[in-house]
Amino acid sequence: MEQRSPITSQLTTGARVADALVYAVGVAGVIAGGLLLQQDQLGFAVVAWSLTFVAGAGLRLAAWVARGVAELLGRQARMEDALADLRADRVAAERRETGRHWGA
């Protein structure tokens, strides 16, 4: 299993929380708009629905960005590991070719 950095885990967790909040905001907006509509306040109901839609879309966008950044950080870490391995292989090959071994 791939080992993940704390930052990547935190970003992924934040994205999951934002996804959950999208649904909570949506439900709250529908309920608030419905209650306002029952009180014959159509204008406020539309405003409540619009605001909750914008808040939900903002949270969804934040979750998407957090997932993207977490993925980029994970790829960067894998690339750094691969580069370190390649450097070590190259140094070992050069030492074999030149005859320089441990302390020689």
Domain-located, residue 104: no
Domain count, the chain: 1
Query: Which pLDDT does position 6 carry in this prediction?
Result: 84
3 pLDDT above the threshold of 90: no
Give the Cα separation of 32 and 69 in Å (integer).
34
pLDDT digits (tens, 9 = 90+) for 6-34: 888 999 999 999 999 999 999 999 999 99
Domain that holds residue 69: 8-96
Domain assignment present for residue 13? The answer is: yes
Closest CA to 12 of 56, 62, 76: 62
Q: Is residue 70 part of a domain?
A: yes
pLDDT of residue 94: 84
pLDDT tens string 63-103: 999 999 999 999 998 999 999 999 998 988 888 888 766 65
- 37 part of a folded domain: yes
